Amino acid sequence: MTLASDLTDLTARDWETGPEGVVRFAVVGLGGFARNAALPALVEADYCEPTVVVSGSAEKADRIAAEFDADHGLTYEAYADGAARDAYDAVYVVTPNALHLPHVETACEFGKGILCEKPLEATPDRAEAVVSACETAGVPLMTAYRMQTDPVVRRLRELVRSGGIGDPIQLHGGFSIDVLGGSRGPDQWRLDRDLAGGGALMDVGVYPLNTARFLLDGDPTAVAGTTSGDGPFADVDESVAFQLRFPEDVTASFTAGFSGDGERFLTIRGSEGTVELRNAFSVGGERRVRVRRDDGEIDLTGPGTDEVREEFDYFADAVLSGWDIGPDGQDGLTDVRAMQGVYESAASDEWVEL
């Protein structure tokens, strides 16, 4: 097997079946990510369209509905009461973490499929309640792990799982953002532990954590971590460093942060080679891939695929065609439990078995 044959077609949708019809979405929560990334992706998607938008403000809901040509703008109360329930087939929940559960329960009550932002909820108990509600209602649930639908990441998974770098040994990675940058000040839900469940780990640390699990097709058996934060970050972790043990003696070391220089990378070292993924977690970013093996080295730049659009179309294809969703609720629950273990380790200064 050569490097050229290992990494081919970095735009291919290996999951696509070409279903007929579309999935009509109600977008619950109209923060910056919903307005700037999710709704534009839904408009451009092949198998989806936004027909309902939901906000705490009636004025905002109406304004955003008009901007994206959605049929209905609703308040949270109207959504919970069942307004316009015949106008959508599925719900995309993109509110603060600790508010996911009630909106999921509403969707379950109306028999709607659910795409829920990560982390699935703010605590393991609430994440478990999300999964249980969907299982009881018999509705599909997908955790919004956009990296799992990114074509470059999916090609890397094929490379790693096929033994393209031998047996995985170690993973390293990091994802940091300036959460106070731009117009965002300290008065935001990401810095409120009750709403977020944590800080940098829950918001951006989950990316290398889940992507590692996806590439390895395995779950960590133990975790350890340290956190720090003060000033505006007194309630949550401003930065976190955490380690994971996987089966087969594979280990991982990751960092995440809400300040300082931004980083977005993931490296996998194997017994016969190494893969480096740069600009790994940016929305729509051009992924830079370097693979080093005994038979050579290759550098590739994957096109800036809109993996948010890929995520919506992946969900819709699964719903319309009836195949099982990959990043399901259990996937999201596993990460919430692992991150809770990291926080427990930071408090006890000991490894936590999962």
What is d(CA 331, CA 151) in angstroms, rounded to the nearest whole number? Answer: 19
Predicted local distance difference test score (pLDDT) of residue 307: 96
Predicted local distance difference test score (pLDDT) of residue 214: 98
Predicted local distance difference test score (pLDDT) of residue 288: 93
Q: Is the pLDDT of residue 263 over 80?
A: yes
Q: How far apart are the first and last CA of the chain?
A: 37
What's the whole-number average pLDDT of the chain?
95
What's the pLDDT band for 8 if we cut at 50, 70, 90? low
**What would the mean pLDDT of 318-345 be, rounded to a whole number?**
98
What is d(CA 108, CA 283) in angstroms, rounded to the nearest whole number? Answer: 29
Please, are residues 189 and 195 in contact by the beta-carbon 8 Å criterion? yes
Predicted local distance difference test score (pLDDT) of residue 6: 57
Q: 240 forms bridges with which residues in the sheet? A: 227, 256
Q: Residue holding tokens 């809770």?
A: 340
Q: Helix, strand or coil for residue 306? A: coil
What's the pLDDT band for 2 if we cut at 50, 70, 90? low
**Phi and psi (nearest 5°) for 216?**
-85, -20
**Ordered domains of the chain (ranges, CATH):** 23-145 (3.40.50.720), 147-306+326-353 (3.30.360.10)
**What would the mean pLDDT of 133-162 be, rounded to a whole number?**
96
